[in-house]
Chain A
Amino acid sequence: MDLSSINPILLIASLMVAATPILLAAIGEMVVEKAGVLNLGVEGMMITGAVVGFAIGVNTGSPALGFIAAALGGAAVSMLFGVLTQYLLSNQVATGLGLTLFGLGLSALIGKPYEGMKSPVLQKLDIPVLSDLPVVGPILFGHDPVVYLSLILVVLVWYGLKFSRAGLILRAVGENHEAAHALGYKVIRVRLMAIAFGGACAGLGGAYISLVRVPQWVEGLTAGAGWIALAIVVFASWRPWRVLLGAYLFGGVSVLQLNLQAAGLAIPVEYLSMSPYVITIVVLVFISARGQHGAPGSLGRSFHASG
Chain B
Amino acid sequence: MTENESTERSALLTLDGLRKAYPGVVANDDVSFTVWPGEVHALLGENGAGKSTLVKMIYGLVKPDRGIMVLEGKAFTPANPAAARSAGVAMVFQHFSLFDALNVAENIALGMDNPPAQRELATRISEVSEAYGLPLDPARIVGDLSAGERQRVEIIRCLLQDPRLLIMDEPTSVLTPQEVEILFHTLRKLTAEGTAILYISHKLEEIRALCEDATILRLGKVVDTCDPREKSARELAEMMVGESLHIPTREEFKPGQVVLAIEGLSLPSPSSFGTALRDISLKLSAGEVLGIGGVAGNGQDEFLSALSGEVLALPGVITLNGKDVGLLGPNPRRALGLLAAPEERLGHAAAPDMSLLENALLTGAVRENLTSRGFLKWGRVKDFTEKIIDEFDVRTPGPENAARSLSGGNLQKFVIGREILQRPDVLVVNQPTWGVDASAAAAIRQALLDLAAGGAAVIVISQDLDELLEISDRFTALNEGRLAKPRPAQGLSVEEIGLMMGGAHDMHEAEVNT
Contact = CB atoms under 8 A, between A and B. Distances in A.
A134 interface: no
B49 to A, nearest CB: 15
Contact of A168 (B62, B85, B93, B109): B109
A184 B118 CA distance: 21
B99 interface: yes
Q: How large is the interface on B (under 10, 10 to 19, 20 to 34, 35 or more residues)?
A: 20 to 34
A175 B102 contact: yes
Contacts of B82: 184
A165 B117 CA distance: 10
Contact of A182 (B61, B100, B101, B106): B61
Nearest to B85: A184
B80 A184 contact: yes
Contacts of B62: 307
Given A165-B115, A183-B110, A307-B62, A296 B101 contact: yes
A168 B109 CA distance: 9
B97 interface: yes
Interface string B4-23: 00000000000000000000
A176 B100 contact: yes
Interface string A204-232: 00000000000000000000000000000
The dominant DSSP class at the A interface is: helix
Interface residues of A, number: 20
B111 interface: yes
B101 A171 contact: yes
A169 interface: yes
Contact of B110 (A172, A294, A296): A172
B315 to A, nearest CB: 29
A258 interface: no
Nearest to B118: A163
A182 B109 CA distance: 14
Contacts of A279: none
A179 interface: yes
A51 B109 CA distance: 43
B61 A307 contact: yes
B110 A169 contact: yes
Contacts of B433: none
B97 A168 contact: no
A297 interface: yes
Contact of A175 (B81, B99, B109, B115): B99
A179 B101 contact: no
Contacts of B98: 176, 179
Interface string B86-122: 0000000100111111100010011100010010000
Contacts of A294: 101
Nearest to B82: A184
B110 A182 contact: no
Contacts of B455: none
B399 interface: no
B80 A182 contact: no
B106 A168 contact: yes
Nearest to A292: B271
A296 to B, nearest CB: 7
Interface string A160-190: 0001010011011001101110111100000
B60 interface: yes
Contacts of B60: 184
A281 B56 CA distance: 47
Given A169-B110, A172-B110, A307-B53, A182 B99 contact: no
Contacts of A169: 110
Interface string A231-261: 0000000000000000000000000000000
Contacts of A296: 101
Contacts of A163: 118
Interface in B50-64: 53, 56, 60-62
A23 to B, nearest CB: 25
B102 A172 contact: yes
Given A165-B115, A184-B60, A307-B53, A297 B109 contact: no
Contact of B99 (A165, A176, A293): A176
Given A168-B109, A307-B56, A297 B100 contact: yes
Nearest to B109: A168
Contacts of A165: 109, 115
B110 A168 contact: yes
Interface centre among A178, A180, A182 (most CB of B within 10 A): A182
Contacts of B100: 175-176, 297
A197 B14 CA distance: 45
B111 A183 contact: yes
B177 to A, nearest CB: 29
B102 A182 contact: no
A31 to B, nearest CB: 16
B81 A184 contact: yes
A175 B80 contact: no
Interface centre among A182, A184, A185 (most CB of B within 10 A): A184
Nearest to B112: A183
Interface centre among A169, A179, A294, A296 (most CB of B within 10 A): A179
A142 B93 CA distance: 56
A307 B98 CA distance: 18
A9 B62 CA distance: 62
Nearest to A163: B118
Nearest to A176: B99
Contacts of A175: 99-102
Contacts of B109: 165, 168
A165 B114 CA distance: 10
A183 B118 CA distance: 19
A184 B110 CA distance: 10
Nearest to B93: A182
Interface of A: 163, 165, 168-169, 171-172, 175-176, 178-180, 182-185, 293-294, 296-297, 307
Given A175-B100, A180-B99, A307-B62, 20 more contacts: A168-B109, A169-B110, A172-B99, A175-B101, A176-B100, A178-B97, A179-B96, A180-B110, A182-B93, A183-B81, A183-B111, A184-B80, A184-B81, A184-B85, A185-B110, A296-B101, A297-B99, A297-B100, A307-B53, A307-B61
26 contacts: A163-B118, A165-B115, A168-B106, A168-B109, A168-B110, A171-B99, A172-B102, A175-B100, A175-B101, A176-B97, A176-B98, A176-B99, A179-B96, A179-B98, A180-B99, A180-B110, A182-B97, A183-B81, A183-B111, A184-B82, A184-B85, A294-B101, A297-B99, A297-B101, A307-B53, A307-B56
Closest CB pairs A-B (n = 10):
A184-B81, A179-B97, A182-B97, A175-B99, A184-B82, A184-B80, A175-B101, A176-B99, A172-B110, A172-B99
